[in-house]
């Protein structure tokens, strides 16, 4: 019921004094109400639920989990490097 | 699709799985509140990826499931009227009332229509001025602004042949109801991401403090859920309470002030009955007096409908995370998605329906490689006895 799908705004227009838009969901286009997201512009991504954009997606925040995972990988490599150094330094 | 495919990435999921395993030192029970999250967890086998110490229990976050049986009966009564066009989101049509469901009313000639957005109902009302268009306004805070906008527009555009049958429920009072129960098992929560995208998470902070629990606002894709679980386990291990936000790409602390303003304009908080749980104080919305003329319950004078739930169903316990679906004697036998006895089997987002649809029929469910994250759930063959 609370399903929200990300889509890209491709057009904006006013209908009955309400900001509306055409949103592209990977090739499927739907008319969406943009009234709740005044900062939704053409080219931005929005989360859409029952024909309403709830929020503009913050693209920099979307990257953070992958930066965190990369950081984890770097730590793993560092740990592995330390272990190798210890092995090399063993008598 | 951007912002979706990368969050279903197996490599990222496995890294998070390993990270959870590295930090956990003792058993923890975490509840995901939202039915959409329950569905993802069971579909992708997220719970099977977790170490034995981390148990997920499923919360009451499926509005379709918790809509009271008497309200379904009222919807059916209204939809049966000759001069009514009854509009609803698709998932409400197959929810059984005491004797029928909305699909049966449609099949027997009733004008029942599935809409994508509540605004579609206004177009239908304008096209049919001699009939009354009634919309079944069901949902959590996520859906409330859309439904509020439809009512607000109807008033503004003087579309008087439009009404709403309201059954809106709110998440924080349900969480509080669970936490104040003496036999609850929940030590941490995954908060419902889309509810918070509308309402923010300021209201969750006092809840976390009062009940000494971590709450992690979480998204809906597999990587979102694993990261949410990782953050929640980390808080539990460190003895931290409070609210963390995993779903920051779509959730701000303050939520959407525009959406909240629209909700407050049209709705006010009221007590609501939850199917499987009972009445929870201040846990729902009703129309404000200024918008009362759009209230379908008043317009159609559908009185108090008396209904009785199955005595075998333990959905109330499942909704509160006290029991798992397969601990119910009726699960998969008298109670299936085709013939549901109770709340958690009526929608695909209900815990019982999710367990049934993805082959979780036994308590000793063996990991079935449904954790492929390839978008193809593993279906365990059903027993043939």
Mutate to test the interface with A, among B249, B264, B344 (most CBs of A within 10 A): B249
Cβ separation of B12 and A6 shorter than 8 Å? Answer: no
Using an 8 Å Cβ cutoff, are B90 and B376 in contact? no
Q: Is residue A90 part of a domain?
A: no
Q: CA A20 to CA A11: how far, in whole Å?
A: 8
Confidence of residue A81 (pLDDT cuts 50, 70, 90): low
- How large is the C-alpha radius of gyration of chain B? 21
Q: Is residue A47 part of a domain?
A: yes
B360: its two tokens: 């979780």
The CATH number covering residue A36 comes to: 2.30.30.140
Chain A: closest CA distance from residue B140 (Å): 7
The pLDDT value given to residue B364: 46
Using an 8 Å Cβ cutoff, are B87 and B124 in contact? yes
Instruction: Outline where chain B has alpha helix (H).
Output: 10-23, 35-44, 46-49, 63-66, 69-79, 102-107, 118-127, 144-156, 171-179, 193-199, 204-211, 222-238, 257-266, 296-299, 315-319, 351-357
Q: Is residue A55 part of a domain?
A: yes
Using an 8 Å Cβ cutoff, are B36 and B220 in contact? yes
Chain B: closest CA distance from residue A91 (Å): 30
Could you give phi then psi for residue B162, rounded to 5 degrees? -130, 140
The pLDDT value given to residue B371: 46
Taking contacts as CB-CB distances below 8 angstroms, the residues of chain B near A29 are none
Residues with Cβ within 8 Å of B151's Cβ and at least 6 positions away in sequence, in order, are B164, B266, B287, B291, B294
The pLDDT value given to residue B116: 93
Rounded to the nearest angstrom, the gap between the alpha carbon of residue B354 and the centroid of all alpha carbons in its chain is 13
Instruction: State the first-to-last Cα distance of chain A, in angstroms, to the nearest integer.
Output: 64
How far is it between the farthest Cα atoms of chain B? Answer: 66
The pLDDT value given to residue A84: 59
The pLDDT value given to residue B121: 97
Confidence of residue A86 (pLDDT cuts 50, 70, 90): low
pLDDT digits (tens, 9 = 90+) for B231-251: 999 999 999 999 999 999 999
Cβ separation of A55 and B2 shorter than 8 Å? Answer: no
| pTM of the full structure | 0.88
Cβ separation of B146 and A65 shorter than 8 Å? Answer: no
Range of the domain at A56: 5-79
Pick the residue from chain A with its C-alpha nearest to B3. A6
Using an 8 Å Cβ cutoff, are A57 and B3 in contact? yes
Taking contacts as CB-CB distances below 8 angstroms, the residues of chain B near A58 are 248-250
**Per-window interface: B 59-118 vs A, CB < 8 A:** 61-64, 89, 91, 116-118
Cβ separation of B145 and A52 shorter than 8 Å? Answer: yes
Mutate to test the interface with B, among A65, A66, A72, A77 (most CBs of B within 10 A): A65
Positive or negative: CA dihedral B48, B15, B348, B184 = positive
Q: Give me the residue from B4, B198, B248 closest to A58, CB to CB.
A: B248
pLDDT digits (tens, 9 = 90+) for A15-51: 999 999 999 998 999 999 999 999 999 999 999 999 9
Cβ separation of A2 and B36 shorter than 8 Å? Answer: yes
Q: Give me the residue from A1, A51, A61 closest to B116, CB to CB.
A: A51
Pick the residue from chain B with its C-alpha nearest to A66. B12
The pLDDT value given to residue B372: 44
pLDDT tops 60 at residue A14: yes
The pLDDT value given to residue B1: 52
HSE-up of residue B218 (Cα within 13 Å, Cβ side): 31
Could you give phi then psi for residue A72, rounded to 5 degrees? -60, -40
Name the domain count of chain A: 1
CA distances from B309 to A2, B46, B104 (A): 26, 32, 20
Taking contacts as CB-CB distances below 8 angstroms, the residues of chain B near A51 are 116-120, 146
Confidence of residue A87 (pLDDT cuts 50, 70, 90): low
Chain A: closest CA distance from residue B142 (Å): 6
**pLDDT under 70 in chain B at which residues?**
1, 303, 305-306, 362-385
Taking contacts as CB-CB distances below 8 angstroms, the residues of chain B near A23 are none
Greater pLDDT, A62 or B51: B51
Q: CA B137 to CA B218: how far, in whole Å?
A: 25
């Amino acid at each position: 019921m609370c399903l929200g799908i990300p889509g890209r705004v491709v057009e904006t227009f006013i209908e009955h004094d309400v900001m509306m838009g055409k949103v592209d969901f990977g090739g499927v286009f739907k008319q969406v109400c943009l009234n709740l997201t005044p900062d939704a512009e053409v080219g931005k991504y929005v989360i859409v639920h029952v024909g309403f954009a709830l929020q503009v997606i913050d693209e920099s925040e979307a990257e953070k989990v992958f930066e965190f995972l990369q950081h984890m990988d770097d730590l793993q490599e560092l740990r592995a490097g330390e272990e190798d150094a210890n092995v090399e330094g063993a008598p | 699709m951007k912002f979706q495919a990368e969050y279903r990435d197996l490599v990222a999921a496995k890294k998070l799985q390993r990270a959870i395993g590295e930090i956990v030192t003792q058993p923890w029970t975490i509840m995901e509140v939202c039915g959409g999250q329950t569905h993802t967890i069971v579909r992708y086998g997220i719970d099977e990826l977790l170490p034995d110490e981390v148990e997920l229990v499923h919360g009451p976050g499926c509005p379709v499931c918790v809509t009271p049986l008497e309200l379904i009966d009222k919807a059916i009564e209204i939809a049966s009227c000759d001069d009514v066009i009854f509009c609803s989101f698709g998932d409400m049509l197959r929810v059984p009332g005491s004797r029928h469901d909305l699909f049966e009313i449609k099949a027997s000639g009733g004008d029942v229509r599935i809409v994508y957005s509540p605004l579609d109902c206004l177009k239908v009302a304008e096209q049919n001025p001699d009939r009354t268009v009634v919309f079944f306004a069901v949902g959590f805070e996520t859906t409330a602004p859309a439904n509020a906008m439809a009512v607000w527009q109807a008033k503004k555009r003087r579309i008087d042949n439009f009404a709403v049958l309201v059954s809106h429920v709110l998440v924080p009072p349900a969480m509080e109801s669970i936490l104040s129960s003496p036999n609850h098992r929940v030590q941490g929560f995954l908060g419902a991401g889309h509810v918070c995208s509308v309402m923010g998470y300021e209201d969750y902070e006092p809840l976390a403090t009062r009940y000494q629990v971590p709450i992690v606002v979480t998204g809906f894709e597999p990587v979102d859920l694993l990261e949410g679980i990782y953050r929640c386990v980390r808080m539990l291990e460190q003895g931290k309470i409070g609210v963390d936000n995993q779903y920051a790409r779509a959730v701000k602390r303050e939520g959407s002030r525009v959406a909240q303003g629209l909700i407050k304009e049209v709705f006010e908080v009221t007590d609501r009955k939850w199917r499987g749980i009972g009445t929870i104080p201040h846990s729902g919305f009703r129309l404000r007096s200024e918008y009362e003329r759009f209230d379908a319950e008043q317009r159609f004078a559908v009185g108090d409908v008396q209904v009785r739930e199955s005595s075998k169903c333990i959905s109330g316990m499942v909704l509160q995370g006290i029991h798992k679906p397969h601990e119910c004697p009726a699960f998969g036998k008298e109670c299936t998605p085709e013939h549901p006895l109770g709340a958690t089997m009526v929608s695909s987002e209900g815990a019982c329906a999710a367990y049934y649809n993805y082959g979780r029929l036994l308590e000793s469910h063996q990991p079935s490689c449904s954790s492929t994250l390839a978008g193809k759930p593993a279906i365990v063959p059903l027993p043939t006895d």
